[in-house]
Structure 1
Amino acid sequence: MEAKIVSIGNSKGLRLPKQVLRQCRLSEGQAVTIGVQGTDILIRARTSPRAGWDAAFAKAGARRVRQNLWGDVPVDENWDR
């Protein structure tokens, strides 16, 4: 597949065909990261550093593991001694 570089104001741009965007699961307005590797331009969807946390917390909350982490350690909360 080929594309041409076009002028966009003082910058240059590249129009990506809809098929390419669909295949890469990208949409208009979505943030991407752009990098250079040798003479290649890499465009990647930007992912959230916390992607998947909601599902992980939901799964962890569903387990409800209750255990005594202190074992038989006597608990004395009198700090005024």
Structure 2
Amino acid sequence: MAIIRRPAAASPLPEPKAEAFIEGAPDGKGTKSGRGLKRGKKEQIAVIMAPELLDQLDAAAEKMGQSRSALISLAVFRFLNSGQ
């Protein structure tokens, strides 16, 4: 029986190539704007809130069959259209 050498491990991609590879994915395309990361027609932002409020938000989103992001967007939309 012949002894077979283990194949050499693939070297990791250099950082710029790795970024280009990730951004090449259908959901990886994003460009920075002044306010957040732009993905298609929407922008990704960061929101900080109390853990208790986040728990209530997640429970409501699950009950409605929506994502957390969708529920936040709906709440903001309704607030802005209520004339407040």
Q: TM-score, normalised by structure 1?
A: 0.26
Q: TM-score, normalised by structure 2?
A: 0.25
- Higher normalized contact order (CA 8 Å, seq sep 6+, divided by chain length): 1
Flag the structure with larger Rg. 1
More helix by share: 2
